Amino acid sequence: MTGKWDSIKLLGAVSDAGETFFLPCEENFNSDTTIRLLDALQTEFGEKICVVLDNASYFTANAVQEFVEDTPIELCYLPRGSPELNPTEECWRKLNQALGNRLFENLDKLQDAALSALDNLEPPQLSAYLCP
């Protein structure tokens, strides 16, 4: 027994039009994961995007800055320690409500339930976060 827990890792995004996008990740979050997320967001929402991120190290890494340098991606960062300004945090709260106090047979069942719940999530209005 290693003491390591299996887990589900997801990065999420909410667009100004209320669309959601969730990226399942196999590995721990790092700059490569962020670059994969930015590439997926461009594929989903168009090449020119403005992405508002928190200050997690995997979002602020030099490799991420170098990746966006010659692209039409604009990165904006929320102030440190301000999850209340991040609309994606509201999605995680709603996901926790949908999945809380439930027992799942295995990680695959939990992942299926999480992705299904995310598909049915009513995303928050961005204006409430960015223009209070």
Q: What is the pLDDT of residue 65?
A: 96
3-state secondary structure of 13: strand
- Find the mean pLDDT for residues 18-37: 87
pLDDT digits (tens, 9 = 90+) for 28-68: 889 999 999 999 999 999 899 999 888 889 999 999 999 99
Q: Which of 93, 127, 131, 117 is nearest to 18 (CA)?
A: 127
3-state secondary structure of 32: helix
pLDDT digits (tens, 9 = 90+) for 91-100: 778 888 888 8
More confident call, 126 vs 89: 89
CATH code for the domain defined by 9-130: 3.30.420.10
Q: What is the pLDDT of residue 129?
A: 62
Q: What is the pLDDT of residue 1?
A: 42
This prediction has a pTM of: 0.70
Tokens 């700059």, residue located: 31
pLDDT digits (tens, 9 = 90+) for 104-119: 888 888 888 888 887 8
Q: Alpha-carbon distance 8 to 26, whole Å?
A: 8
Residue 99: count other Cβ atoms within 10 Å of its Cβ: 14
